[in-house]
Every structure is written in C-alpha cells, then in structure tokens.
Chain A
Amino acid sequence: MSQENRIPVTPIWNHEDTSRIPFWAYTNEDIHKQELQKLFYKDHWCYVGLEAEIPQPGDFKRTVIGERSVIMVRHEDNSIYVVENVCAHRGMRFCREKHGNAKSFTCPYHQWNYDLEGNLQGVPFRRGVKQDGKVKGGMSKDFKTSDHGLTKLLVAVRGGVVFASFDHDIESFEDFLGPTMLSYFDRMFNGRKLTLLGYNKQRIPGNWKLMQENIKDPYHPGLLHTWFVTFGLWRADNRSELKMDKHFRHAAMISTRGSGGKDSQTTNVSSFKESMQLNDPSFLDVEVEPWWEGPTAVMMTLFPSVILQQQVNSVSTRHIQPNGHGSFDFVWTHFGYEDDTQEMTERRLRQANLFGPAGFVSADDGEVIEFSQQGFEQKPFHRSLAELGGKEIEETDHMVSETLIRGMYAYWRKVMGV
C-alpha cells in the first residue's frame, strides 16, 4: 500500500484548507461518536419539533437529539419541557409511543412515575410491603426522589419551533443562530401560529453530514434534479445569494425563481427535458406570499440537526436523526399557517409532493447520498473535492459555489480538533 493509500489510525486532515474532505470524515465510527458528543450533546441547540405538534396540555411527542431519545411535552401551564427518554432507575427507554397525551410518565419495567417536567414522583414499594403486621423491604431511608429525576434539557421556543439542549451552559438560541440566520428564521416563523400538515419519514443509508452538505450545495439542484431545471424552480441562472453565520456552521441558500424553459444555461444540461410537461399543472400553481419578501426559495441549514425549507409555497422542517456513521433517519414535518385559506393549504400539500422519500425532487437526493457513502466506504483513504467558486469561504451573490460546504468543514474541524 502506498503512503497516500494508508488509512491513518488517528485521522489527520492532511489538506491545508477545507476544499478537500477526507472520506474518513464519513466512515470512521470513532469520529461519529465524537460528533454526537461535540455537536449534538454540547454547545448546539438541536431541533425537537413544532409547538403545533403538541397543542394540548399533556400532549407529547417522542423524538431524538443525535442518537438520544427525548420526549417533548406540553405542561399544564402550557410551557414546553423536553426530557430524556431514559428511566432513572434501570436506564430503560420507557416511552414507546410516538405521540400521545399523558398526565405523567410511568416506566413499565418497575412503574417508576415521573411528572411532565421529569421529576420522580413515586417509586413502588418505596416503604416496603406490610406482611404479618411488619413492614419488609423497600428503599433505604435516605432515598430522595428529588435525586432521581429524568435528565432535563434546556428548551428554546421561537416562532412555534422548539429546540433543546443537553448542555445547560449553552449560549441563547438567538446568539446560536446569529443575526443573519435569525432574520431568515424570523421570516419563516414570524409569529403566526403554525398548523401541522403531515410527515414524511425515510432512512437514508449515508452519513448524516451529507444531508447538511446537500442543502449547502447549490451546484447540484440544477444538474441532478430534472424537475427543478425543467420547471425553473432552482437553476444556476436564478438570482441567488449564499449566506452564513460568523462561524460558517449555519447557512442559507436564497433564490428567486426564473421563468423556466430553455435558454443558454440549459442547453448542455442533460437533465433538462424540453418536451417534459406536467400532467397536472396545479403542482406549479405557485402563489406569491407577502412574507417571502422576494425570494421564492430559502433553504436554511441549522447545524447540526435541522433544515428549514421554503420552496415556493411548500414549507417544512427536515430533522436529521443519525444512527451510526453510515445511516440517518430523515423526518420531514410539513406545516402551514393558521391564516392560510383552504386553497393555500391544498397548494402547500400538493407542492409537498416534491419532497420526502418519493418526492419528485428529493428522491434523487436520497439516492446520491446512499451512493456517495458507498464510494467513501470503498476507499476511505481518499477525499472529495469542494472547489467550485475557489478555496475561500465567503458569502456570494450567485449559486455557482461550494463555499458553504467549505465553511461547514472549517467549523467542523475546529470543533472536532482535526
């Protein structure tokens, strides 16, 4: 094996900048475990859901942060709590329902009972049992329920979206986003109540970072996605901007739809199908909404856990849920706003057909992520290239650049110490 084909025992980033990304970043299980600790369980706010998913007191939703199971629940006082789904007694993942309504949580194993904030309320036979006039067994006198609650997470709610953190020393959610990302966040979640339209769920056999990169990569949509290039929703000749927070971890791809059809940009693009027409033109029955303030698509990547999507009238969150270095679950929550007309709700639902595991557009992304991972596993000593638009990291006023990927890996290297 030649020097350059050797897989390093301790992975070393042997390129000076982040325009080349070593495959071990996607294939190494130790790196993956460190990512969970450093990116999902510490210093980062992670997405857990929408307030609209738990409208009534006692409503809960089971979800994950990284690979840790958590429960988001609405308290009787209407505030939202997030607790870890691990019993304080024997460590069991006690909650198995995806959604429900509860007055308290009880682990089925030994019926330890917790209130909705995660405080331990009661322990069966804590005082022992009465037998022949005597009390036998039970917990020792110094056992305090207050020492044995569920792990409680810090919670941030903004615009109807719920984020949580295992790390209680974390900066505020607003500081975590930074002013530029916050302004795009507030554009989409501007205080109107959200309505839940439905879910798509899929398991993609690839490293979770590939999904972040997919939405930090404006190069591929106009090439890979026949649907986008043919009908003009996302093409290289659309007016566009690429923006980041100061750490380069979060990003927004902002684009305004062109007229579609044939022009100089499409002549050499094989995915452009001039003769292709929609059987049902209502899929592109786009209605401009005032809150867009111009752009027809804003795709935000909030590192590490979520993508916030506006593609014309379709608005969704996409939750990244890793399971091992080579696989993640991808959960799409499609929503609307309480002041939507029935027509608008139907329009949002129709356009949601672009997305999800079998979406007109997104089916392509699931496949390329799977096949990328296969390439990485095949030769983990190799590296990928992200040099479109140069080797620097900078905001741009066009989309012919991989700068957001370079930015994400500059941040990743700093946090991971590689």
Chain B
Amino acid sequence: MSDNWISSISIDDIPEDDVIGVTVNGHQIAFYKVEDEIFATDNICTHGHALLSDGFLEDGEIECPLHQGRFCIKSGKAMSEPLTEDIKTYATRMEDGQVFLKFS
C-alpha cells in the first residue's frame, strides 16, 4: 500500500495568513497558509464542535469562533481554556501547486 498521500487542494486556494475548510477523503480539514508554509489540522474543534475555519488565525494559533479556545496549527496543541484535548494535525507535501495530505 502507498503511504496514503492524498491530493487535496490547490495551494493558491488557501488564503494568505488565513484558514480554509475543505473535505478531504471524508474528513473535514482546515488548511492554513503562513508565510508560504502550509499546515493542516482537523477542522472540528475538540471542545464545542465548531468549525475552526470560521475562526481567527493569529501568531500561528487558530482561535475557535465559539469559545475562543486556541490551538497551535503546527503541533495541534491546545493552548488555552476551555480546551482540554489537542487537535489532530496532518503532514503536508506540495507537488505541482497541489497540497497532498498524509492520512495514517
């Protein structure tokens, strides 16, 4: 079996210094672009089940619009209350202007 790299979204479709939500392979994924680097996490907050892509990206952290819990987009670590659970992150790879996502 291959290493599960799935083609997901064009790099140009991810807004600069912001976030976008896309369904990839049945999973709701949030893509972030910060200084031309791409990150990906689950899009549903581990606390109130809101979409992180409706939230605010600041200083490498995504703030959930519902209760202002903040996750580090790089590590997925829960950075503030009311979060108690980290969010899942995905490895990304660029090829021909397309973002590939690794599912494991």
Binding site for B on A (CB under 8 A): 103-104, 106, 111, 113, 115, 121-127, 129-130, 145
Note all chain A residues with C-beta closer than 8 A to B63: 127
Contacting residue for B48 out of A111, A125, A126, A129, CB 8 A: A111
Contacting residue for B67 out of A111, A129, A130, CB 8 A: A111
Please encode chain B, from 31 to 59, with 1 for each CB lying within 8 Å of some chain A CB and 0 for all others. 00000000000000000101000101000
A-B contact pairs, 23 of them (CB 8 A): A103-B82, A104-B81, A104-B82, A111-B48, A113-B66, A113-B67, A115-B81, A115-B82, A122-B64, A122-B81, A123-B67, A123-B68, A124-B65, A124-B66, A125-B66, A126-B65, A126-B68, A127-B56, A127-B63, A127-B65, A127-B68, A130-B54, A145-B68
Alpha-carbon distance between A283 and B66 when the two chains are bound, in angstroms: 57
Contact B68 A106 (CB under 8 A): no
Chain B at the A interface: SS class: loop
Contact A122 B84 (CB under 8 A): no
Contacting residue for B84 out of A103, A126, A127, CB 8 A: A103
Note all chain A residues with C-beta closer than 8 A to B65: 124-127, 129
Known pairs A122-B69, A124-B67; A106 contacts B48 (CB<8 A)? yes
What's the minimum C-beta distance from B86 to chain A, rounded to whole angstroms? 14
Note all chain B residues with C-beta closer than 8 A to A121: 67-69, 81-82
Note all chain A residues with C-beta closer than 8 A to B67: 111, 113, 121-124
Note all chain A residues with C-beta closer than 8 A to B84: 103
Note all chain A residues with C-beta closer than 8 A to B56: 127
Contacting residue for B54 out of A111, A126, A129, CB 8 A: A129
Task: Give the top 6 A-B pairs by smallest Cβ distance, nearest first.
Answer: A122-B67, A121-B82, A122-B68, A113-B67, A104-B82, A121-B81
Alpha-carbon distance between A126 and B56 when the two chains are bound, in angstroms: 11
What's the minimum C-beta distance from B38 to chain A, rounded to whole angstroms? 20
B:60-103 near A, CB below 8 Å = 63-69, 81-82, 84
What's the minimum C-beta distance from A407 to chain B, rounded to whole angstroms? 49
Note all chain B residues with C-beta closer than 8 A to A123: 67-68
Please encode chain B, from 17 to 43, with 1 for each CB lying within 8 Å of some chain A CB and 0 for all others. 000000000000000000000000000
Note all chain A residues with C-beta closer than 8 A to B48: 106, 111, 113, 122
What's the minimum C-beta distance from B4 to chain A, rounded to whole angstroms? 32
Q: Residue on A with the closest CB to B69?
A: A122
Alpha-carbon distance between A183 and B68 when the two chains are bound, in angstroms: 49
What's the minimum C-beta distance from B100 to chain A, rounded to whole angstroms? 27
Q: Residue on B with the closest CB to A124?
A: B66
Alpha-carbon distance between A103 and B81 when the two chains are bound, in angstroms: 11
Alpha-carbon distance between A93 and B82 when the two chains are bound, in angstroms: 21
Q: Residue on B with the closest CB to A105?
A: B82
Note all chain A residues with C-beta closer than 8 A to B64: 122
Q: Residue on B with the closest CB to A145?
A: B68
Alpha-carbon distance between A125 and B63 when the two chains are bound, in angstroms: 11
Alpha-carbon distance between A145 and B67 when the two chains are bound, in angstroms: 11
Note all chain A residues with C-beta closer than 8 A to B82: 103-104, 113, 115, 121-122
Alpha-carbon distance between A124 and B81 when the two chains are bound, in angstroms: 14
Note all chain B residues with C-beta closer than 8 A to A145: 68
What's the minimum C-beta distance from A128 to chain B, rounded to whole angstroms? 9
